[in-house]
Amino acid sequence: MADEIKGFIFDLDGVITDTAEYHYKSWQKLADEEDLFFNREVNEQLRGVSRMESLEIILDGKEVPEEQKKEWTDRKNSYYQDYLEEITKDDILDDMEEKLMKLKKDGYKLAVGSSSRNAKKVLKHLQITDIFDTIADGHSVENAKPAPDLFLYAANNLGLKPEECVVLEDAESGVEAALAAKMKAVGVGPESRVGKAHLVYANVGDIDFDEILKKL
């Protein structure tokens, strides 16, 4: 039997809530203003990727001065911050809050492991900050996913070994980060994106923690 599972680390966007549309609208607004090519197909490539890396994907090799990139990512974030004000408790996906509460009641340690620098703000709007024992976000570590740093930081704060943690992720880079951290990975989404995970669920509503605890 592998190490006993003692904690769960949740990606935020796409697992607990879905702010993807807000990201899309923010990037689209910037792209329209700066005459950059952007559409939903390009947006899909930004899943789980940091803000500056996202801009690099959008630029697709186009040379832009560093100060300009900084101004653009700051402006995109400003638009995103405005959209975030619209988030409420109703934006928690499916029955995820009930699932989190049950895990907490059963004695598991819970963390958020999100590349977003806005994770704490989103959790505050969702009114579930106090469910988590620690929050690892874009401010916590230097190397973003697929590096394992964010999840290792979360596990360390939980006082757990990597092998005792399960990561729930909807992005390919996040699944890779979990595997690199030597954690058990649960993918949420299509096989084509999260198929490298130990266990895959098509959507949040399908996640079965009893099955996860039995199989991993």
Task: Look at residue 1 in the predicted model and tell me its pLDDT.
Answer: 36
Closest of 7, 9, 16, 12 to residue 48, by C-alpha: 12
Distance CA 216, CA 134 (A): 23
Query: What is 7-18+88-215's CATH number?
Result: 3.40.50.1000
Closest of 108, 103, 92 to residue 208, by C-alpha: 103
Task: Look at residue 19 in the predicted model and tell me its pLDDT.
Answer: 87
Q: Do domains 7-18+88-215 and 20-84 have the same CATH topology?
A: no
Q: Identify whether the C-beta of residue 187 lies closer than 8 Å to the C-beta of residue 208.
A: no
Q: Is residue 95 part of an annotated ligand binding site?
A: no
Give me the catalytic one of 11, 18, 74, 210.
Answer: 11
13 given a catalytic annotation:
yes
Q: Is residue 114 part of an annotated ligand binding site?
A: yes
Task: Look at residue 48 in the predicted model and tell me its pLDDT.
Answer: 78
Q: Is residue 61 part of an annotated ligand binding site?
A: no
Task: Look at residue 2 in the predicted model and tell me its pLDDT.
Answer: 54
Task: Look at residue 28 in the predicted model and tell me its pLDDT.
Answer: 98
Q: Is residue 106 part of an annotated ligand binding site?
A: no
Q: Is residue 115 part of an annotated ligand binding site?
A: yes
Mean pLDDT, contiguous 10-residue spans, the chain (216 residues): 85 92 95 97 88 96 97 96 94 97 98 94 96 97 95 98 97 96 97 97 97 96
Task: Look at residue 47 in the predicted model and tell me its pLDDT.
Answer: 84
Parse the chain into domains and list their residue ranges.
Answer: 7-18+88-215, 20-84
Task: Look at residue 20 in the predicted model and tell me its pLDDT.
Answer: 82
DSSP 121: H
208 given a catalytic annotation:
no
Distance CA 132, CA 68 (A): 37
Asked if the 20-84 domain carries CATH number 1.10.150.240, the reply is yes
Give me the catalytic one of 13, 18, 60, 90.
Answer: 13
